[in-house]
Amino acid sequence: MDSTRTRRMRWVYPPILAATTEARRRLSGQLRAWGIPDQGVEPVVLVAHELVTNAVEHARTGLELGVSFDGADVVVEVHDQSLLNPACNRSTPQRRVAGVCRWSLRCPPVGTVSGMHAARPSVL
């Protein structure tokens, strides 16, 4: 596997709950195709499923699931098209998921981009 090249994939979904199942299926298949073993795939897919579910339930807009893998780290982002900024409750601790080392939340001019970074999922 060439670890110097970053691989990327993106899928677009409507704001329906069935999108969460389809996103989970596509993402797990793609991660496995990139050579990430099951123990590395599962935590990434769990978090991605939660991010897609949040976009469907709260933004209620179309969304895009993106994933990249540089041979070591996986980055997953979900971009919705909501015109409302998300309410961030800083007093609530973030849930810890094995293998997820960084969370992100950005508010571009349109929508919200929520994401996660999993360091070295191939060795989790």
What DSSP string runs through 38-106? HHHHHHHHHHHHHHHHHIIIII-S-EEEEEEE-SSEEEEEEEE--SSPPP--TTSPPPP-TTEEEEEEE
Selected residue with higher pLDDT from 75 and 107:
75
Q: In this structure, what token pair is assigned to residue 47?
A: 């978090």
Res 91: pLDDT: 42
Cα–Cα distances in Å, from 105 out to 76, 91, 113?
A: 12, 16, 6
What does pTM read for this prediction? Answer: 0.80
Selected residue with higher pLDDT from 2 and 24:
24
What SS3 class is residue 11?
strand
Selected residue with higher pLDDT from 92 and 103:
103
For the stretch 17-48, pLDDT in tens is 999 999 999 999 999 999 999 998 998 999 99
CA distance 124 to 99: 6
Average pLDDT over residues 99-119: 76
- Residue 120's region, left for phi above 0, alpha for psi from -120 to 50, else beta, is left
Name the band, by pLDDT with cuts 50, 70 and 90, for residue 78: very high
Q: Count other C-beta atoms under 10 Å from residue 98's C-beta.
A: 10
Res 98: pLDDT: 53
Selected residue with higher pLDDT from 102 and 55:
55
Domains and CATH numbers, the chain: 7-86+95-123 (3.30.565.10)
